[in-house]
Amino acid sequence: MTVSSNGVAKSYAKSTNIFFKVFFSFLITFVLMFLSWIVLSGKFDPLLLWLGGISSFFVSYYFYDLLFPLLEPRYIIIFFKFTKYIPWVIWEIIKANFHLLYLAFHPRLKDLIDPKIITFKTNLKSDIAIATLANSITLTPGTITVSANSDGVFKVHAIDKKSAEGLPGIMLKKVAEVFGEEI
């Protein structure tokens, strides 16, 4: 094949690059779906494994771009940073559970509960970072994200003063670090 100056070779290289990105997005989605199916079913009969594989194939074929739109090298870095974020947010959830347990059994319960709606703006730009922060806040007991828009403006309901004081706090810094954004 000869390389022409009109861009045919560049077009071929670009389409090949996109093919590999789509293929790897499909492959990773398929592996995740199939492993999830195996873990959740707990069945290792050949027929059931085959049916799980076929189901995972069709789900991956139609929805590969939902989990990994076009696999980029930065997604791998984000994945590893996110795996470090998960234990931290689980620990925050545990601490908030104990705080709510304290509130629920305190004799002056009505005095301690002081619900508030907190509004704050972040510098998060990507939708995934905004959604991760909103979900992390909602997963933490005592706080619920009422709204979060693409401009990074959040409205959060907090059950008491202590829950409201921590917003957005270190959670914003951790999410920005995971997704490589500046705060």
* Tens-place pLDDT, residues 81-109: 999 999 999 999 999 999 999 999 988 88
CA atoms within 13 A on the CB side of 124: 28
Q: What pTM was computed for the model? A: 0.69
Q: Are 57 and 92 within one domain? A: no
- For residues 30 and 85, membership in a common domain is answered with no
- Do residue 124 and residue 148 come from a single domain? yes
CB neighbourhood size of 150 (10 A): 10
**Structural domain ending residue among the three candidates 15, 40, 67:** 67
Domain count, the chain: 2
pLDDT at 95: 94
One domain for residues 17 and 77: no
3-state per-residue secondary structure call for 125-173: CCHHHHHHHHHHHHHCCCEEEEEECCCCEEEEEECCHHHHHCCCHHHHH
Final residue of a structural domain among 43, 67, 91: 67
User: Are 155 and 100 found together in one domain?
Assistant: yes
Q: Which domain holds residue 44?
A: 5-67
The arithmetic mean of pLDDT across residues 115-134, rounded, is 92
Are 60 and 99 within one domain? no
* Edge-to-edge order in the sheet of strand 143-148: 116-121, 153-158, 143-148
Residue 2: predicted pLDDT: 47
For residue 1, the model assigns a pLDDT of 46
